[in-house]
Structure formats: C-alpha cells, structure tokens
Structure 1
Amino acid sequence: MTVLLPTTVGGHLVELHLIAQRAGLDAEPLWMTWCNAQTASVLEGERVIWVSPVHPRDWRGVIRTGRETWRILRRHRVTAVVTTGSGIALGVIPIAAAHGIPCHFIESAAHVSGAGLTGRVLQHFPGVHLYTQYPQRATGRWMYRGSVFEGFRALPAQACGEPTPIRNVVVTLGTTRLYSFRRLLERLVTILPADADVLWQTGCTDVTGLPIRARTEVPAPELAAAIARADLVIGHCGVGTALASLDAGRLPVLVPREAAHGECVDDHQHQLARDLCRLGVAITATVDDLDAHILHAAACSRVERIGTAPPFRLQQSSRPGRAGRELTRKRFWRAHP
C-alpha cells in the first residue's frame, strides 16, 4: 500500500515533510514533486516520482499533472493522498478522488486569513478532507489538527547573554523561479556589517551590479548547517525559511514580498508576518523599515523548542459518494493537452 505525497517545492515541501512524520502514515510514502537542490537533498533515500513543475496559476501544468496522476495510479496501489499543495494538488486530488481514494488537503500555514486558490477550488469537491493550520479558521468542512509552528517559543532577550557580533549571516529568498526580490538585497548591502561573512541564496533574483556572491540554490543540508552557525538569518517571509530558522534556534528577520512590486502572486506573506509576530517567533519588517537596529535585535535573540509537537491526526476516510465521483470524472481533467 502507498500514500501519495504530491507537493510544490519550497515551504510546501517542508510542511508536508513535517506533517507526514506527525501523521503516522499507515502505508509507504511515495513523493511526487520536481527536482531541485532542495528536493534532491530533503527526499534523499525516499521513493520519489519526479514531475515537471507546476507554477502559480499554471493551468497547463495542472492538466499535465492530472495525466501523470492517471499513470501513477495505474502503477501503484495508492490508498490515500496527502498534500499541502499548491497547484500540483489540483492535478492530483480530482483524479485520485475519481478513483475512490481518500484525499487530504492541508492548507499551507502561509494562508492565515483564508484559503488560497488551491483550497478554494478543492473545497468544492465532495469527500476531500480539508485542514487549516489556524484554529480560528476551522469552520464548515475545514478542520484544525495542528500547525507546523507548534512547539517553538522565543527566549527573552536578556536570557541570550551579551549582544552577539554579526559575523556570519544567511540571507535566503526561497526556491521560487518566478518572482524576484531584488529590493531586499539592495537594502541589505547597505545595512549589513561590511566584514560579515554572508551566504546569499537568491533564487531567481537578478543580482547584476550588486556586490555579493549569490547562489541560486543551496542544498537543504548545507543551508541548515549554515543557519545553525549563523549569528543572523534574514529571508523573505516564507514558511520554509521561518521553519528552517526556528529549527536551528534562530529568531529570523523576515521581510514580506509585495505583490505591488511584482514579488509575489498576492500579499499572503504580510498575513504570515503578522501571525509570526503575534507568536513571538520572528521579527518582521518591510524593506523600507529594515535597519541595523532590527538586525542586532534578532542577532541577540534565540528560539527554543517546547517539548514534542503533538500528532497530526488525519480524518478517517470512507469512499467518496457518487456525487464526488461524478464531479471528479469531468472530461476537463483528461481531454486538454
């Protein structure tokens, strides 16, 4: 028996990897994603089916993934689908549900105030189990079973001892291949200490003319090791960046991307920034507000784990009813190129 775990790269992968460990899956996991430095390292030793990327609002990619899902279901005895999205889930869940396979969609913690596009589409499919990572959003079919941010708290500043000189810094902009964040880099080169040793993981951002040694991607183990020894971690306000910092005991400085500047598909990173500030596990600022005082405040702060995160209990599933099977058998999922 197999549990299919389709996921987008970046924070979605990090979330699903953590939740799968907490969910106590009763079948062998089979991952479904595309290959980059992060996925190749995080999923080393796992069973993986590599597929082509599905980008935001990429309906051709969704349809292509749907065709690949038909082939996967013919070759493997899939007994459940568990996913954190994003777009790849739209290609997998309708097909799996049409086969009567229990499906679980866990909305990313990046969506604080409401479901993203994937969640809004999937909530119209009968029989799909829907999960939010925020208890205040557990209404209707949406259930709360836990969050990836459970089990962390910031230490009081005075408990961290003397202010730490900023010698080693990690700057990470995530794995997106569509949206740059040059504004943040331009700001950081003016306020970081000139003698700091900085790892610049910049994704697809154009760094032409900036006095930095940029790397598009960094394998997950290397990035984790760099964060663990860093005095300061700065990044875009993504779930994966936040979790990597917290896991290493670092209080990150997180800067939300802004849709008005073409840095993201929408402004959901602002929502996440507000919630992480509420939890006290990040310092957040806009690009314009970022200054050396904020960097030093983060450098002298630390985060600790509080026990072990509780299990993430998936809803017990029954076979989808006739209405669900009929809805998910629409020719749309099979006929388009």
Structure 2
Amino acid sequence: MELSAALSGKRALLVASTGGHLAQIVRWSERFGLQPDSVFATFDSEQSRSLLRDRRVVTLDYVPPRGLAPAVRAGIRLFRATRRERFDVVLSTGAAVGTAAWAIAQLRRLPFVYIESVSRFDGPSATGRILERLPRVQRYSQHAAWADRPGWQLGPSLLDDYTAVPAADRPARDGEGRRIFVSLGTIKPFRFDALVDAVRDRMRPGDTVTWQLGVTTRDDLPGDVNQELRAEEFDRLVAESDVFVTHAGVGTLLRALELGVRPVVLPRLAARGEHVDDHQLQVARELARRGLVLLRSPGELTTDELDPSGVVIRRSGDTSA
C-alpha cells in the first residue's frame, strides 16, 4: 500500500530533532492526513514553539548528532510522558532521537516508520544505518538512486513539490540599499563563520542586514543580530528581504521554497568543522540542479549575487503569478 494511504487518518507519535527533521515531519503529518491530536516529540526551540504551537507536544532534552546516550535518556522521557496515550503508529525523520522513537515503538508494539531526510542523496544517515540493523522498521528513502538498498523502499519526496519560474519585476527603491536576511539555523555546536564573513565583506554602503546566527556568536557585525527567531519573524524576513542567504539546512530551505523565495545557499562543510558530514552540499547541489537555489561557496559569492534574483518558487497546485 502507498505510504500516504497507509497512514491517512492514523493517530501518530511523531519524533524528530529540531531544524530540518522537524520541518519535514510536520510536512509529512499534513501530507499524510494524520489525526490532529497526534503527538510530536522534539526539543525546545523558537522553531518548535512556533511550528507546534497548536499541536500536542512532548519536549525532550537536546540530542546532538550521533548522541546515542542522550537518545536513551530521551527515550525514557518519551516513554514516561506517553504511556497513557494510544497511538496507531510511530513516525520519525531522525536524527539520533529516531533511535528513541524505535525503542518506544517496540515497547508499545506499534508499527515504526522511518523516512530518511530529503538531504540524503547517496544513502542513509548514521541514524538510518543504525536502524538498518534493527528489526520491525519500515524504512523509506526520498530518492530513487538508493531506494533499492536492502531493507529500504522508495517513498514520496518533498522536493518534487517545487519549480522555479521568472519573477515579475519588483518596484525599484531608488537610493535605498539592499535588505539582506542571513540565517544559519540552530544546529549545535557547529559555527559557520565563513558564511558570515562572506556576506559582511560583500555588503554595499546603505545595505541593511538581519542575522540569525545560532551558535555562531559575533560582536563585529552591522545590523540586527539574533541567535534565534520566531517562525513568524523568520517568515516575514524571508518574504520582505531582497535576498535571503542561508546554509543548506533542509528545514530552512523548505520554508524558503514554501514562501516562494529562491535563496542564496552556502553549504556547511565537514572539512571546515561546520557539520558532521557533507550532506548539506548534496542537498544544495540537487536544489541548484532543479533551479531552486543559487549555490555558492563563501569564496565564490559576489556582491552582485546579493541583488534580487529575478526568480520565484512555485509550489505544485499553486496557480498564483
């Protein structure tokens, strides 16, 4: 049975890390038509408080990438918090907290569905590889290139929802600088100074900039500097800015595309200590191939690429101009 049909109308326990994993599981819950009283389990952040403000939520302590010991503690907390709840299925999009979700499914004797992140183009993440070794897991890839891997099957992909089209001319703002919004997401403990420096060094006189830096704390930047932003404020800044510059975090990219914006994307690289691996480069390359982002490295970014792009993103079924 097709996954959407199999999950439609089910009451689910949905477990995901904040960031792209949470953004994806929220999208899946809507696409699959899960029961509105399904329960989400994730970490406390501005993103989770905003995205899930009208949902039922169990708040877990932060589980870092590949953090198996914290995942065990999260599993204990999750079991205690939901032991009186009734569910039809447990669903996770990772990251390491997905192993806690599997444990809960086994203890509760529930089906467990794991949908690998859309950012994984060449094979499963570390969590996905762990779950390959565990029984009673329905594992789905969003990419056909490796969906024939033993134990996996091809599921739907969130990327197929979007296309790039030429933008209508925007009214000129004579004598005004560009409005720039920069977001680095909330991944811990990885800094991304290279992106920050690239944007700062390519600003023109009169430009205004808002920064959302996460753990990349700085005291040498012009403009409005924030560690985190509420989802509503993030959306407003993406929509109103002349250019949106960001890392290749899946949650950030999907939200920009949802808002009709083609971002300028500088992926984090493991070699610079900006993430655990190079999956951000993979997702950025695929989105660039589809025309959905402008992909650059910090050294390649030019001043002119901080101008409005002339491209907007349209979602499937959207007939607006």
TM-score over 0.5 (shorter chain): yes
Q: 1:291 aligns with which of 281, 296, 302?
A: 302
Deviation at 1:200, TM superposition (A): 0.6
- State the partner residue of 1:241: 252
- In 2, the alpha carbon distance for the partners of 1:42 and 1:294 equals 31
- In 2, the alpha carbon distance for the partners of 1:213 and 1:229 equals 15
- State the partner residue of 2:164: 154
- State the partner residue of 1:5: 14
- State the partner residue of 2:72: 63
Taking a change above 3 Å as real, the CA distance of residues 43 and 26 of structure 1, as seen in their structure-2 partners, is closer
- State the partner residue of 1:331: none
Q: 1:144 aligns with which of 140, 147, 154?
A: 154
Taking a change above 3 Å as real, the CA distance of residues 103 and 169 of structure 1, as seen in their structure-2 partners, is same
Question: Retained in 1: the 8 A contact 2:66–2:127?
Answer: no
Q: 2:278 aligns with which of 251, 264, 267?
A: 267
- State the partner residue of 1:90: 99
Which residue identity does 2:27 align to in structure 1?
A: L
- State the partner residue of 1:20: 29
TM-score (ref. length: structure 1):
0.85
| Cα offsets for 1:10-61 (capped at 9, x unmatched) | 1111111111100122573101111111111110021111110111121221
Which residue identity does 2:304 align to in structure 1?
A: H
Taking a change above 3 Å as real, the CA distance of residues 276 and 81 of structure 1, as seen in their structure-2 partners, is same
Taking a change above 3 Å as real, the CA distance of residues 164 and 271 of structure 1, as seen in their structure-2 partners, is farther
Q: What's the secondary structure of 1:169's corresponding residue?
A: strand
- State the partner residue of 1:281: 292
- In 1, the alpha carbon distance for the partners of 2:315 and 2:82 equals 39
Q: What's the secondary structure of 1:302's corresponding residue?
A: strand
| Cα offsets for 1:108-164 (capped at 9, x unmatched) | 1111111100000011222211111112222133222211222211114xx543796
- State the partner residue of 1:207: 218
Deviation at 1:181, TM superposition (A): 0.5
1:178-217 to structure 2, matched below 5 A, reads 178-217=189-228
Q: Percent identity?
A: 32
Name stretches of at least 5 consecutive residues in structure 2 with no aligned partner: 1-9
Q: 1:300 aligns with which of 281, 295, 310?
A: 310
Q: What's the secondary structure of 1:153's corresponding residue?
A: strand
TM-score (ref. length: structure 2):
0.89
- In 2, the alpha carbon distance for the partners of 1:274 and 1:288 equals 17
Tell me if 1:80 matches 2:89. yes
Q: What's the secondary structure of 2:89's corresponding residue?
A: strand
Structure with greater contact order relative to length (CA < 8 Å, sep ≥ 6): 1
Deviation at 1:169, TM superposition (A): 1.8
Question: Retained in 2: the 8 A contact 1:163–1:299?
Answer: no
Taking a change above 3 Å as real, the CA distance of residues 212 and 85 of structure 1, as seen in their structure-2 partners, is same
Question: Retained in 1: the 8 A contact 2:74–2:100?
Answer: yes
- State the partner residue of 2:4: none
- In 1, the alpha carbon distance for the partners of 2:153 and 2:233 equals 36
1:218-257 to structure 2, matched below 5 A, reads 218-257=229-268
- In 1, the alpha carbon distance for the partners of 2:229 and 2:170 equals 31
Which residue identity does 1:280 align to in structure 2?
A: G
- State the partner residue of 1:104: 113
- State the partner residue of 2:61: 52
- In 1, the alpha carbon distance for the partners of 2:220 and 2:23 equals 32
| Cα offsets for 1:86-114 (capped at 9, x unmatched) | 11111121231243210111111111111
Question: Retained in 2: the 8 A contact 1:97–1:128?
Answer: no
Which residue identity does 2:87 align to in structure 1?
A: V
Question: Retained in 2: the 8 A contact 1:16–1:84?
Answer: yes
Q: 2:47 aligns with which of 33, 38, 41?
A: 38
Taking a change above 3 Å as real, the CA distance of residues 44 and 149 of structure 1, as seen in their structure-2 partners, is same
